[in-house]
Structure 1
Amino acid sequence: MYGVVPAAGEGTRLRPRTASKPKGLVEVAGRPLLTHCFETLRALGVERLVVVVGYRGDDIVAHYGDRFADVPLTYVRQDERTGLADALRTVEPHVDGDFVSMNGDNVCRANLAAVVDRHRDCRADATLLVDRVSREAAANTGVLAFDDAGRVTGLVEKPAEPPSTTVPRGFFAFSPRVFEACRAIDPAPTGEYELTAAVDWLVSRGGRVETVPLDGWCVNVNTEADRRRAAALLRDG
Structure 2
Amino acid sequence: MINTAVILARGLGTRMRAEGQSSSLTAGQAAAASLGYKALMPIGAHRLIDYSLSALADAGVTRAVVVVAPEHEAFKAHVRELAPSRLRIEFAVQDEALGTANALASAEKAVGEEPFLMVNGDNLYPLEALEAMTHVSGNAIAGFERSSLVAQSNIPAERIAAFALIRHADNRLIGMIEKPSEAELAEYGESAPVSMNLFAFEPTVFEACRTIKPSARGEYEIVDAVLALENVQVVPVSGGVLDLSRRDDIADVESRVAHVSVRL
User: Do they superpose with TM above 0.5?
Assistant: yes
Superposition CA RMSD, Å = 2.4
User: TM (normalized to structure 1)?
Assistant: 0.85
1:18 aligns with 2:33: yes
- In the alignment, the residues of structure 1 paired with residue 158 and residue 257 of structure 2 have an alpha-carbon distance, to the nearest angstrom, of 27
- In the alignment, the residues of structure 1 paired with residue 16 and residue 259 of structure 2 have an alpha-carbon distance, to the nearest angstrom, of 23
- In the alignment, the residues of structure 2 paired with residue 218 and residue 177 of structure 1 have an alpha-carbon distance, to the nearest angstrom, of 27
Distance 1:190 1:98, change over 3 A: same
Within 5 Å, which residues of 2 pair with 1:175-194? Answer: 175-194=202-221
Distance 1:85 1:67, change over 3 A: farther
SS at match of 2:214: coil
- In the alignment, the residues of structure 1 paired with residue 73 and residue 173 of structure 2 have an alpha-carbon distance, to the nearest angstrom, of 39
1:174 aligns with 2:201: yes
Q: What residue in structure 1 maps to residue 233 of structure 2?
A: 209
Distance 1:227 1:102, change over 3 A: same
CA contact (8 A) 2:134 2:200 kept: yes
Distance 1:21 1:137, change over 3 A: closer
Distance 1:137 1:12, change over 3 A: closer
Q: Which has the higher contact order (CA 8 A, sep 6+)?
A: 2
Q: What residue in structure 2 maps to residue 74 of structure 1?
A: 90
Following superposition, the deviation at residue 225 of structure 1 comes to 2.9
Within 5 Å, which residues of 2 pair with 1:132-211? Answer: 132=146, 137=159, 140-147=162-169, 149=170, 151-160=172-181, 161-162=184-185, 163-164=188-189, 165-202=192-229, 206-211=230-235
Q: What residue in structure 1 maps to residue 138 of structure 2?
A: 124
SS at match of 1:232: helix
Q: What residue in structure 1 maps to residue 26 of structure 2?
A: none
Give, as a single letter, the amino acid of the residue that structure 2 aligns with 1:105.
D
Within 5 Å, which residues of 2 pair with 1:75-94? Answer: 75-94=91-110
SS at match of 1:23: coil
SS at match of 2:107: helix
CA contact (8 A) 1:6 1:52 kept: yes
Give, as a single letter, the amino acid of the residue that structure 1 aligns with 2:131.
A
- In the alignment, the residues of structure 2 paired with residue 109 and residue 138 of structure 1 have an alpha-carbon distance, to the nearest angstrom, of 17
SS at match of 2:219: coil
Following superposition, the deviation at residue 230 of structure 1 comes to 1.8
1:224 aligns with 2:247: yes
Structure 1, gaps ≥5 residues long: none
CA contact (8 A) 2:214 2:221 kept: yes
- In the alignment, the residues of structure 2 paired with residue 218 and residue 110 of structure 1 have an alpha-carbon distance, to the nearest angstrom, of 10
CA contact (8 A) 1:126 1:208 kept: yes
Following superposition, the deviation at residue 228 of structure 1 comes to 2.1
Deviation string, structure 1 residues 195-217 (Cα, Å, up to 9, x no partner): 11111111xxx323222222x32
SS at match of 1:178: helix
Following superposition, the deviation at residue 180 of structure 1 comes to 1.8
Q: Which has a greater percent of strand?
A: 1
Give, as a single letter, the amino acid of the residue that structure 1 aligns with 2:174.
T
